[in-house]
Amino acid sequence: MAAGFDTVLVVDFGAQYAQLIARRVREAHVYSEIVPHSATAAEMLARSPKGIILSGGPMSVYADQAPVLDPAVYELGIPVLGICYGAQLIVRQLGGEVRRTGTGEYGRTELRCDPASVLFSQWPEMTEVWMSHGDSIVAGPPGSATIASTPDVAVAAFESVARGLFGVQFHPEVVHTARGQELLKRFLHDICQCRPTWTHISVIEAAIEEVRARVGRARVLCALSGGVDSAVVAALVHKAIGDQLSCVFVDTGLMRAGEAEQVEATFRRQFGMDLHQVKAADRFFGALKGVVDPEKKRKIVGELFIRIFEEVAATLPGVAYLAQGTLYPDVIESGTSAAATIKSHHNVGGLPAEMALELIEPLRLLFKDEVRAVGEELGLPEEIVWRQPFPGPGLAVRIVGAVTPERATILRAADAVVLDEVRRAGMGHELWQSFAVLPAVRAVGVMGDERTYEYPIVVRAVTSDDAMTADWARLPYELLERISSRIINEVDGVNRVTYDITSKPPGTIEWE
């Protein structure tokens, strides 16, 4: 999809900074791609970048096993911007000095900058930035100029215009830095000379062109779950090839309440797409019987999905491709050379090694907020575009333990209560996700003066921009009370409700 767009590489030094920087670059209408710090200068050059940004990271540049960069990157003639750890690394590798002075900076800090510098051109002399560092730059690389300072750090930013090297100790990618996005735009548009052409319309046009060129006259199956990702893929591919597309909805028995009916109403009746429904609950419960390891669950579900799609494809002449809603965070979390495996997404790390259909993934390079914007541009209804994310394996990875039809029925009913109460409270758009989890354990309770020994339900609600990081939602006590009361009174088999107040990191949004 990135063909024809100017590219900026974001080098990942850990701690989720790279993902946030990549999103901010795209918000400036420039295509960004995350690469590992182990990438060589030649590997980066092969991607034809117009700029390189070195992310922050959790380590000291002096720590054992601290990540480094191929020094040849600095000689490519491509502008480089280092952020926090990235800035310190430039200094350390090119002969400046980084030292633990005993005075770190954390949180909001007043920055005095040089408005005559290239990076801070036309800025006010004083501005507020967000710092998070223990080590400090005390001398920039030879030949560089110090262009900003704080009360505690003499070199808060530096630049060597002749070499195309720039570094800032603060984090321009976070909202707490007052002019952070302005700084990134200055680097991207003025210093790197990137064209601001990465827009939702241009993304759609490029994806349509790519799908048409690849598919030709062949037919395509779309794995349609009813969620925003697969819905946008279906709309995008349908716009590209029309009636060459057939959609397949697999009823796994692990979907949310009313899922199958909503898919039928939206895609067959409203959009007139060729939709095939496959009822496969017995197959999924059979394949998952006794399985408790979440990675095994994801792989079992991923493979069974593919086999069912292949079976449907065999009944339709000319089907050679499978379209699915893989996103950039799915790829990153499933493990790349730049990131350890956090969890195998059923549509990435959970795919079988051998497949009869070739994959088409037009959203593979997009973050969730970009997907929603594309969906709106394509004319999808609001209730689809803003639907909360739902894991591909469905309730299988929200049941912590063995998956059974009984547990799925209990969880589906509890989850429906959570979603209904959040909607009634008018908080649907405020939350990234809100759902129920069923740990496969029993808890003692008392109902009607009698002892009970039934399941607990965990309620999970988070706020996020892209699912790479998330904070637990501060739901009103009254809302939590209504959710708890309704679940216990309306859902047989539950006698206890708890609320998860863990952010990501250290937890993930889903429990498995």
CATH number for the domain including 176?
3.40.50.880
For residue 79, being part of any structural domain is answered with yes
In a domain, 60, yes or no: yes
- Are the CB atoms for 66 and 37 separated by under 8 Å? no
Are the beta carbons of 167 and 135 closer than 8 angstroms? no
Three-state DSSP class for 239? helix
Please tell me the distance from the alpha carbon of residue 396 to that of residue 114, in angstroms, as a whole number.
Answer: 56
- Do 350 and 495 lie in one domain? The reply is no
What are the structure tokens assigned to 16, written together?
């989720």
Closest alpha carbon to 98 in 127, 148, 60, 132: 60
Query: Which range is least confidently modeled, 84-98, 209-223, 350-364?
Result: 350-364
DSSP 8-state secondary structure symbol assigned to residue 500:
-
Whether residues 413 and 381 share a domain: the answer is no
319/347 same-domain check: yes
Residue 390 inside a domain? The answer is: no
In which domain, by residue range, is 171 found? Answer: 7-191
Q: Is residue 433 part of a domain?
A: yes
Residue 392 lies in a domain: no
DSSP string computed for 383-439: HHHTPPP--TTGGGGTEES---HHHHHHHHHHHHHHHHHHHHTT-TTT-SEEEEEEE
247 lies in some domain: yes
User: What average pLDDT is seen over the chain?
Assistant: 89
- 133 & 261 share domain: no
Total domains in the fold of the chain: 3
Tell me, yes or no, whether 375 and 424 share the same domain: no
Given pLDDT bands bounded at 50, 70 and 90, which one contains residue 338? Answer: very low
470 within some domain: yes
Which residue, among 108, 30, 61, has the nearest Cα to 370 in the 3D structure?
30
Please tell me which residue, 387 or 396, carries the higher pLDDT value.
396
What residues act catalytically? 84, 171, 173
Closest CA to 86 of 41, 37, 129: 37
**β-pair partners for 322:** 221, 359
Query: From CA 67, how far away is CA 292, in angstroms rounded?
Result: 36
Give the Å distances, CA to CA, from 308 to 280, 296, 312.
Answer: 9, 18, 6
Q: What is the pLDDT of residues 425-478, one digit of tens each?
A: 999 888 999 999 999 999 888 776 677 889 999 999 999 876 767 899 999 999
pLDDT score of 5 more than 80: yes
Give the model's confidence band at 142: pLDDT under 50 very low, under 70 low, under 90 confident, else very high.
Answer: very high
